[in-house]
Amino acid sequence: MNGYFKTHPLAKTGLIGVLLLLFVVVMGMFFPKGAFNKYDSFILAFEFAKTPDDIKLIFNGLTSETIRNIDIGNYVDYGFMLAYSTLLGLAFYLFSKENRLHWLKYGIILVTIIFTSDFIENIFLLRLTGNVLNTSAEAVIISNLKFLSIITYSKWTGLAVAFFILYAFFYFQRWYFEVLGIFFLLPLLYFIATPQHSPENLSVFTNLIFLSFAILVMFFFLFKKKI
C-alpha cells in the first residue's frame, strides 16, 4: 500500500471522496426519497424552490417528524460541504504545481465563495423548514426564498465554473485524462445552453456536477507519478 501511495501521489487526497460518499449516504437517511416537483430529489426541489406554492407542493403530506429529519440532513450537509470544498481546494492547489499552471491556485478563492454560499444556503433552508412548521406568513417565506435563490445559484454556478477552470490542468495530461477532463466542461456549457432552467434541466445540470466530482476523485486515485 505504501508503494501505491508513492507512485500515486494524489491518492491520499482522493480518500476525501470516500468521506463524501459517507456523507451522501447519511444525508439520504434523513431526506425524503423520490422525485419532487419534477426534480430528481427532494433536496434539489427544496434548494431551487422559487415560490410559496413550490414550498407547499414539496412539503405536502410531510409530517413534522419528517421535516425535523430534513433539518438533521441539512446539519449533516455542513460536513459534506466542508469535505467537497476541501477536495476542490486541494485540487486547485495541487494542480497549480504541475505544468506551470501557477494561476490555478487562485481557484481556491472561488472555492471559498462556493463554500460560503453553501453555508448560507443551509441557513435559509433551515429558516424555511421553520416557516413550514410554524405556518409563517407568506411574505416571510417569499423573503427567504429570494435570498435562497441567489445563494443557491451562486453555489451551483460556482461549482460549474470551478470544474471548467480545472480542465486547464487535464488538457496537459495523458490523452485519456484529457478526454476524461472534457466532462468538466459540460456543467457550465449545459447551464448556458439551457437558459430556461426548468426542473428537468437543473436536475441534469446538477447531475453533471456530481459526475465531475466522481471523475475528479477517480483521477486522484489513477494519477501516476512520472518517472
- Name the band, by pLDDT with cuts 50, 70 and 90, for residue 1: low
Nearest Cα residue to 55 out of 120, 151, 130, 155? 130
- Cβ–Cβ < 8 Å for 155, 118: yes
Q: What is the mean pLDDT of the chain?
A: 93
Q: Are 74 and 148 in contact (CB under 8 A)?
A: no
Residue 227 has pLDDT above 60, yes or no: no
- pLDDT tens, position by position, 85-139: 999 999 999 999 877 789 999 999 999 999 999 999 999 999 999 999 998 889 9
Closest C-alpha among 55, 20, 32, 39 to residue 134: 55
**pLDDT of 23 strictly over 80:** yes
4 half-sphere exposure, CB direction, 13 A CA radius: 7
150 versus 9: which is more confidently predicted?
Answer: 150
pLDDT of residue 174: 84
pTM (predicted TM-score): 0.94
CA distance linking residue 89 with residue 105, whole number of Å: 8
